[in-house]
Structure 1
Amino acid sequence: MTTAITRRLTHVSVLGHVTMGCVILVCAILSGCGSQSSGRMAPSSVTGDEPIITTYEVDESIFPNPERGFYKYMNLHELDPEIGALREAEGITLVWGRIHMAAYREEEFLPADFLAHVERGFQIARDQGMKVIVRGSYGSRGPGGDYTTYADPAEAIIRNHITQLAPIFAAHADVIALFEAGFIGPWGEWHSTELANDPDRSRSFVHFLLEQTPMDRMIVVRYPLLKQQVFAAADGGFEQVSSTNAYSGEAVARVGHHNDCLLSSEDDVGTYDRGGMDREREVTYLAQETLHTVFGGESCADYTLNDCARAIDELEMLHATYLNSGWHPDVLAKWTQQGCMDEVQQRLGARIILHESRISNRAQAGGGLRVRLILENAGFAALYNARHVDIVLTNDATGQDVRLPTGMDPRLWKPRERHQLWLVLQLPADVPPGSYTAHLHLADAAPALREDPRYAIRVASSGVWDEMTGLNRLAAGIIVEAAP
């Protein structure tokens, strides 16, 4: 595991912060990037300290983390109230929550009791410490008994249903990991129907979905060509997400990709070879997109392309974050037999390794605390939802925590890179003197989940994780002195 990851590292980024009341960001990635600042802490406010240097061993075990990994397929409106047991039993933190509306294909509006069951599903996910991948669906079989004769409900009905669901999505956005576009085509997979095959109507519908879902959540679409058509440019090209507009809330930055026949044929059963682009060009396009958006899906058949050697390379190239834990069973069994299942489980999504920390051994209340961290993202992908990066000082005598926000965006910790964080964090003027232990807290951005350890990220370094608090221990024996 370690050797495989190390050989794939591409470069090191250097990130630095100076804080004074609010967070000030100065960022450089090797050759440099833009910087933002609104002031600087006076050098005299940082004491003449010596660093406490700690190195950490890599933890190669398989453990759960939020918003990534293998998911469990379930109907959201029929969610098991004990779904959280999957965290311990299978390391699963994601539910693929289908909103199955086949019974309401001809109903102008969804009934109140159905909406209540959908809302209850989100509440169960919250109570159980899970997050939901949301997809709406109206079934998969038409009059002929299979998907080839499937027809969508009237578009006006679908839009009405989504409008009804939108307030529920908004109320539970914090426990939604992402949306799969859904609603259109058999299984909600955007193929085989009039609406799915009409670029203009599809474009309008995707923008409607973007309007009806929370601004801070991504929507993934089934085919690369669909996003290209949705964001077609006047010159015949198309808009793409890049480092300049990633995480901006712009429409193009909110649309990612999923593949429900991953590595299952030469064109992934119709996923590629659309719109005059072959597999190689489509995968290259996806690799650029998914560096800044979320990607996942499932396999649908055993095929030579999903042999372990090729599968790992493609999951890495496409920055895979999530996969179906139950489909396709032959492919999952093959990965176990060929020996790559452990690596897939470890590396889906982001896997943050803490290699070294250097922290001031002394600081003054109201003064600066120097922190340097060396991290590595050994996962296939970057984080895709916003998250706090805080240094938490715990008073060794009282247990009182002092939270020092860094303002860092961990979504910028891209895979196949090491990242050096240089921080000067201002302590509150009233922090009690004493001995403190420093922790790294990668907390959920939602206020309701920020203190919930089930939604905090565990780093892949041995002996640092506290499952009761969600904190990753950095170093002990930091002395805070009273202000002069």
Structure 2
Amino acid sequence: MRKINFILFILCHSLFSQNTVNYTNSNEIFANPERGFQKYSITDANYATTANYSNISINELNGWYSGPDKVSVIFRYFLLEDFLNTNINATYLSNMQLDFDRIRTTGLKCIIRFSYSNEQGTGVQQANKALILAHLNQLAPIINTNKDIIISHQAGFIGTWGEWYYTNATEFGTDGNITPTQWLNRKEVVDAMLTATPVSIPIQLRYATLKKIMYGNTPLTASTAYQNTAIARIGFFNDAFLNDYGDQGTYEVSSQYQNPVGTSDYIYISNETKYLPMSGETNGLNPPRTDGANAVLELENTNWSFLNRDYFEQNITNWTNSNHIDDIKRKLGYRFVLNNSIFDLQGTNLSVQINLINEGYARIFKERKVYLVLKNNTTSQQTSFLINTDCRTWENTINLSEIIDVSSLPMGDYSSFLFLPDSENSLATNPKYAIRFANDGIWEASSGMNNLSQTVSLGSLSTSSFENFDVTIYPNPATSSITINSKERISKMQLFNHLGQKVFIKASGSVIDISFLPTGIYFLHLETSSGKVVKKIKKE
């Protein structure tokens, strides 16, 4: 009987099975990580004086996330006016951590900027260079601790609003009058920001000229992007989107109302923001450039991922009245839409083709892995297979193709999912930080996965085929090793983690060393001439 069942196992795994599923696009507006309208928030005077204080609340953050704008990003403006001449005190740093804790609790992320003044005047607009560098040293640990929820770090520190223009400082130059020495002082601050900020967090500058002068004007390419270099890490923010004077200095123009589209600076930023974030706000009316029809064109031209929902309010109102606002909500950043998928099972090789498009204004600019997850419909065990793609390159039409070896899976029927979790371990299992596709009926909010509606059937053996396959594992849970007691000779042993990644393979034996593995749940796949059995192992 055992031999007959083994032959049936081979036959069932050799069946040819192909299926195509077509998906329906959705116009729904929903929250997705690292994109969309951002909400503005600024610290107040209590941060330097009151312990355990934050002026953002969990209820407020939850309201932004679930509200009509589906906000997943806030702009957090840290005002350092109390530290123009001293180090940042412990109370302020502790309150910053409280901010980050609340942001993480609610499933949001943040853009950060530090400034010493948010009001233009004749007084000092920032600390001196030496103290700015000291402050960056103080801030580095807290930025690193919270790198999972910080999307970008804007520069910051120099000039009114941290926008590097009005400084009233001989160290840095002011109002566009900057000497070579002053440019070196400015670059020293950005270099210090690059050092203090994890590589995974981009830096953003206010004007195209800043990056060109300090780091050269060689444009990024697919081969030079996503590297640990200054030019690959520095993007832009534009706090005068669509206004006069070339978005008030974002682009160099020759007159107040010259349209910057097509200028060298505009082309330069349009290229850089293929690989780096673009964010900011409008700050005034400037028709026809601020009209809704033009706004959606320029948001796409310069690859916008985030836009301030709170300013300039009249532009938001005008875009609402012209019926452009919902399109902007949907398309800021990325918006992935599945077209179809084709699954072809031949033997133990599963051929997977997934065809999709990116309807958004921008690509993803932060790395994250893409998994095909197969979930056993009987046991609910999930196995994840890494797809060989970089989703940061997903633009326009995307065709994924992968051959997956499913021989390690127990027989049964499997549902399939596309899963793009956050790249940080601290957020990888939080569904709010996973990417949702814009299709009807595929999103699983509880898991953060997209159901592909493809069923993979691996054989149909009854449990009787394993009636003599008596296996015990001990100890379980275990800390250093496990022992396998089996009535039959085991020809192959494979150990998989909870993501379906193979962490161990062994041809034979009865003892497996697991001391080198992190704590967690693992699945031990054992094969004999009778078939296969899977045992759940807990490493403590």
How does the TM-score come out when normalised to structure 1? 0.83
Map of 1:285 onto structure 2: 268
Q: How does 1:306-455 map to 2 (within 5 A)?
A: 306-360=290-344, 362=345, 367-414=348-395, 417-427=396-406, 429=408, 431-455=409-433
Aligned to 2:150: 176
Query: What is the deviation of 1:477?
Result: 2.6
Q: Counterparts of 1:98-177 in structure 2 under 5 Å? A: 98-107=77-86, 109-141=87-119, 146-147=120-121, 149-177=123-151
One-letter amino acid matched to 2:195: E
Two-structure CA RMSD over aligned residues (Å)? 2.1
In structure 1, the partner of 2:279 is 296
Deviation readout 1:215-259 (Å, 9 max, x if unpaired): 111011000000101212xxxxx2322111111222111100110
- 2:24 is aligned with 1:54: no
Distance in 1 (alpha carbons) for counterparts of 2:29 and 2:379: 34
Q: Which has the higher contact order (CA 8 A, sep 6+)?
A: 1
| Equivalent position of 2:519 in the other structure | none
* 1:476 Cα offset (Å): 3.6
| DSSP-derived class of the 2:189 partner | helix
Q: Aligned-pair distance for 1:427?
A: 2.9
Structure 1 residue 151: Cα displacement: 2.6
What is the CA-CA distance between 1:78 and the residue it aligns to? 3.3
- Tell me whether 1:84 sits opposite 2:62 in the alignment: yes
Q: Would you say how many aligned residue pairs link Structure 1 and Structure 2?
A: 423
Aligned to 1:267: 246
SS at match of 1:241: coil
Distance 1:350 1:190, change over 3 A: same
Q: Within 2, Cα distance between the matches of 1:293 and 1:471?
A: 26
Question: Which blocks of at least 5 consecutive residues in structure 2 are unaligned?
Answer: 1-12, 44-53, 462-526, 532-540
- Give 1 or 2 for the bigger CA radius of gyration: 2
**Corresponding letter in the other structure for 2:285:** D
Residue type matched to 2:57 in 1?
Answer: D
Q: Structure 1: any 5+ residue segments left out of the alignment?
A: 1-45, 233-237
- Report if the CA contact (8 A) 1:101-1:136 is conserved: yes
Match of 1:230 in 2: 214
Identity across matched positions, percent: 28
Matches within 5 A, 1:170-249: 170-193=144-167, 194=169, 195=172, 197=178, 198-232=182-216, 238-249=217-228
What SS does the aligned partner of 1:50 have? strand
Whether contact under 8 Å (2:132, 2:189) holds in the other structure is: no
Distance in 1, Cα, partners of 2:118 & 2:200: 30
CA offsets per residue over residues 451-470 of structure 1, 9 Å max, x none? 11000111011111111111
How far apart, CA to CA, are the structure 2 residues paired with 1:149 and 1:116?
29
What is the CA–CA distance in structure 1 between the aligned matches of 2:14 and 2:222, rounded to whole Å? 37
**Which moved further from structure 2: 451-460 or 269-278?**
269-278
Deviation at 1:148, TM superposition (A): 5.9
CA distance 1:363–1:114, change in 2 (3 Å)? farther
